[in-house]
Structure 1
Amino acid sequence: MVETVSGHELTEDEAALYDRQIRLWGVESQRRLRGANILLIGVKGLGAEICKNIVLAGVKSITLLDYGALAEEDFGTQFLAARSDVGKTRAEASITRARRLNPMVDVKVAPPATGDAETDPSFRPDSFFSEFQVVIATGLGMSSLLRLNSACRRASTETNKICFFAGDVFGFHGFLFSDLQEHVHVEKTQAIIPGNTKSGVPATITSNTTVTKHFVPLEEPFSLTWNSGNLANVHDSFFLVKVLLTFRDENGRNPSISSKDADLEKLKAIRNRLLSETGAPEDIISDSALEKSYGEACPVCAIMGGFLAQEVVKAVSQMDAPFDNFLLFEPDVCEGVVYRIAKDTVHRSFKKSKKKDQSPACTPSKKMKV
């Protein structure tokens, strides 16, 4: 829940620039966006898409944190950096074009860090994250994401509960996770009133309902086992994400085409180990799914970048129900599925699913064709 940003007053220039958005979600929501400070970790293909969408939405500032050196292989998906900037950090290389998208947004590079935090932002002090209303993490391993999520919760206050998002694209697969802690938003509901006796035309009345949702940290869904969490209904991609994040933890990189065969064997070993530890069936992640997990597919970056930026806008503006808590993109059917994966359903409020066997731990709430 973001309360501290609601006091920003829109100037005439801002009102003119964001006129179409104001018509869509209202002045108060745009005021919240114009007061929001965003931290984006990782500016490869997915990060570039997220950055572009958030800058165009009109936040107050976005801070880019990526000290990886820009390389030729990045240009398949990274459109914010220029080829003349090869060798610079991805954050520095992206800042010029990002600023051109919307001069009213303050786009900047995060200050350098020392020690372990120099290469892993999850080791930065909690005070660093307290400056932001939203923290978005891409390109990190599982252990880093868990530390970062915990840091955001520790750095939160009653008036600024930091919204944490994690997302990534592995080949043709993608995922999004959100932890908004305790989040208040407005949902529009419509009621139809029968028309008068002369015309018989019904009237529609729209009203706003305030809803509070409670989210769980990333550690909870990743700690569930097949039996204790009853994960039978969750999409296979959830387990694939765990395998790929673990590969990144253990190897300090993503699976690479240049070492495809060797990396495939490593992925299979990690898959077998994690599925055994979780108690999941051995065939839940196929070899073909692992083979589709190399690099970043440009269309998937665009899809997931759109979804993640949309969720940031909803979280900050407090308009419409946010996804809770995983979105998994399945390339074979070009479909994104939203699941709440948690130990219980105390705060569950979902639409009906087509699946008959509903699990307390993981219930699909939405399916979206792309």
Structure 2
Amino acid sequence: MTTSAAPDLLALDDLLSPAEIAWRDTVRSFVDAEIRPHVARWYDDAHFPREIAPKMGALGVLGMHVAGRSAVEYGLAAMELEAGDSGLRTFASVQGSLAMTAIHAFGSDEHRERWLPGMAAGELIGCFGLTEPGAGSDPGSMATRAERTADGWVLRGVKRWIGLATLADVAVIWARAEEGVRGFVVPTGTPGFTAVPIGPKLGMRASVQAEITLDAVALPEDAALPGVVGLRGPFTCLDEARYGILWGAMGAARDAYEAALAHALDREQFGSPIAGFQLTQQKLVDMVLEIQKGTLVALRTGRRKDAGTLPAAQISLGKLNNVREALAVCRSARTILGGDGLTLEHSPMRHAANLEGVRTYEGTDEVHTLILGRALTGVPAFR
């Protein structure tokens, strides 16, 4: 099934330029050709296809903002990639929004020259080590330490739920140094760096998440990112990744809706297509309402991001709303598919399982709720 019948009752395409529509359709065609035919097998095998990375690099979806693409163009790409699978959109996000942003924004010229061209091409893979077993929503409590030595630095600690870590050529690791939180560019072949995949997983199975152990990893002085000290560094990268999720979640929701609609038109019960039943139509209508509203939220957020007028709280608004509503759409779509919806022949339950992971990473519902609560009241509730 293609996504050519995406619902657009609000004529949201009228808000896009011809170039933006052409770019979206290019990514959509890539997903139809390179992801949809294989994703059920990848998901079932819990396999991330490393060979797709250079294809995505050639498409131009890795590090788009580094390459000068607009926020809206990045969002449109994220939406189409996640209509294929959250794991593939996550790869583009970890590679571009997290690892490449850190190196581009805060690295040295040598860091940029060494890593960014290969990462943009998908020839090199990067990961982003922030979350720890005891420091997820509260990265300020990280236990990983960076100690100065006569020759540079030594890193010690554990990072968990790190996307792509077992495949990565380079890791951006955040650690607490004497002067504050610092980022480090760590080639993954460095002695003392090990990554072990986390599993078995019930979602995000076409992606890789891992636990990293840093056992006295010795680095030269110039491994540290020179452009930032403190949590502003990782938070800048996280905002880039959270922004892409606004769009991506709507891609998953749209794909689930289309699967449900196609089934409802084809499936007959009591002598009629179930698409003609009132309760089925109510479900389909509710899905389209949330997809249209969520896409409008994503587009408005992208326009403000491109204009340089985007407050951080708006990203939280979009991430909280769009993932929560996309998950509800996917669950409702599964009910229309009946028992067949439990199989990987159909996408809604796969999307729903993935979105449980998306709902958790880059800030849980609870964290984004408190960010919005602070924006509304001026009173922080984190501590």
TM-score, normalising length from structure 2? 0.30
Q: Give 1 or 2: higher helix fraction.
A: 2
Q: TM-score, normalised by structure 1?
A: 0.31
More strand by share: 1
